[in-house]
Structure 1
Amino acid sequence: MTKSGNKISGLTKERVREQLADEADPKAIKRLTAAREYLEGLSPEAIENKYGWHHQTVYNWLNRFEERGFDAALYDKSRPGRPSQLSDEQLEEFSAVLHEPPEEAGYDDPAWSTALAQHYLIEAFDIAFSRRHTRRLMHKAGVSPKRPRPEPASADEDEREEFEETVEKK
């Protein structure tokens, strides 16, 4: 356990306060607040009691300032995630297909549903995505999935047409 105030000796309260006044990133604000409190004499345990951040997390933040330097300690490194299974060209092709009626792609459906788009991805690219991810890809392509709306079996065709003619469209 380190004595209070000795962990980040190269850092001044003024520099931390100036950065804190201009900072917008929530994680950086937490780290700066912990550093400020530490420089003002609070132990990591006291900071935990005051803010609810675990004392080991506070120690980790203070170590970041010590090891990485002031600017690098404030922000996390980029985490790009898993690479896409679809290439950019495949995504463009998928988007282009979605902007056409499903009949153009050889399907007997009036509109693109999530399930139909998912089926197309499997057939065209041999890639199986969940329905949720397929919906995300459709959204990225600028297309909303459509669901068929059932008509009541008792709907009279003449009454429906008369209703549509008498209702004002805005």
Structure 2
Amino acid sequence: MTLQELEVPPKIIAEEREQLEVDLQNPPTDLGYDRQAWSPKLLLHYVKEKFDVEYTGCYTRSLLHEADPEEEAEFKQTVEKTTRTDRQDRRRG
């Protein structure tokens, strides 16, 4: 394994991260892509082209999840409901 393979990919700086968050609030079509919604693969491509940074698919999925507050709120509600239901089931059984 070479030293280059061991290096961690560079991270974007705070200002670039803020710009990325703004960009993710808009559909990819606003940035010239032919897709209506962001996908991890498209985001990987976009970050590489715009910021010259490579991330993993897992990290881009996290970025997409963070960028959609509505989706995050729905996720939290689902977790709360599931937790409540599990507790009630344990009490009954």
Do the two structures share a fold, i.e. TM-score over 0.5?
yes
| TM-score, normalised via structure 2 length | 0.59
Equivalent residue, structure 1, for 2:21 = 95
**Structure with higher helix content:** 2
Q: Which whole-Å deviations, capped at 9, do the CAs of 1:45-93 have from their partners, x for residues lacking one? A: xxxxxxxxxxxxxxxxxxxxxxxxxxxxxxxxxxxxx9x7111111111
2:41 corresponds to which residue? 115
2: distance between equivalents of 1:134 and 1:111?
Answer: 14
Who wins on radius of gyration, i.e. which is larger? 1
What is the TM-score normalised by the length of structure 1?
A: 0.34
SS at match of 2:54: coil
* One-letter amino acid matched to 2:58: R
Structure 1: stretches of 5+ with no match in the other structure: 1-81, 145-170
Structure 2 regions of 5+ residues with no counterpart? 1-7, 72-93
For residue 26 of structure 2, give the secondary structure of its aligned residue in structure 1: coil
1:85 counterpart letter in structure 2: K
8 Å contact kept, 1:115–1:131: yes
**Identity of paired residues, percent?**
35
Q: What SS does the corresponding residue of 1:89 show, helix, strand or coil?
A: helix
Matched length: 62
Preserved CA contact (<8 Å) 1:101 1:110: yes
